[in-house]
A and B are shown apart, each in its own frame.
Chain A
Amino acid sequence: SYELTQPPSVSVSPGQTARITCSGDALPRQYAYWYQQKPGQAPVMVIYTDSERPSGIPERFSGSSSGTTVTLTISGVQAEDEADYYCQSADSFNWVFGGGTKLTVL
């Protein structure tokens, strides 16, 4: 079955750049999406189709893709960015989420 692999945790200091990766065999041919989830809240989409940012999402959030890996980059991390981040993709009507990455702002 199709799987997406993320690091369990990433830690950065305020103002630094956080990079969260997601790897999967289908990523070269399928788009990736990123969702932010804060404790007790529903997920919120922050990046779609690899690198597009929805309206209302700060410009410091960006996405990129290279081969079997996609990356969510948060530039100038702020305390409010501390959350769990999930990548997501799909292959043949099977939607898959990565295991999630906990971003800690030190």
Chain B
Amino acid sequence: QVQLVESGGGVVQPGGSLRLSCAASGFTFSSYGMHWVRQAPGKGLEWVAFIRYDGSNKYCADSVKGRFTISRDTSKNTLYLQMNSLRAEDTAVYYCAKYEHRTGAFQHWGQGTLVTVSS
């Protein structure tokens, strides 16, 4: 079955950097686009970034543009989110999600990893 396991979260100071990983299994990773979605404590879901199945196109939310970069390594079946210039408002649980291109749905989600930006 599809499994998505995020890692790399933790506590970081404002202005710092962090790289999140999402290990994928149970499906052909190279055939699917992938998203990052975040959820601040007690708040709703916010889309962060998307990468096409082949890495040819990437899109990100205005709130993270220029600071966050999404990437993927097909040889490792792993999705990444490089987060730079972190701010307190980036504090959230970060989820990776498998994108079903035929329906447009966030079909499967990982359990998330918590990022806390605090001094």
Contact = CB atoms under 8 A, between A and B. Distances in A.
Interface of A: 1, 31, 33, 35, 37, 41-45, 48-49, 52, 54, 84, 86, 88, 90, 93-100
Interface stretch (B9-17, B66-74, B81-89, B106-114): B106-114
Interface of B is mostly: strand
Nearest to B47: A95
A100 B37 CA distance: 14
Contact of A44 (B46, B50, B109): B109
30 contacts: A31-B103, A31-B104, A33-B105, A35-B45, A35-B106, A37-B45, A42-B95, A42-B109, A42-B110, A42-B112, A43-B109, A44-B109, A45-B105, A45-B106, A45-B107, A48-B100, A48-B103, A49-B103, A49-B105, A86-B44, A90-B104, A93-B59, A94-B61, A95-B35, A95-B47, A97-B44, A97-B47, A98-B44, A99-B44, A100-B44
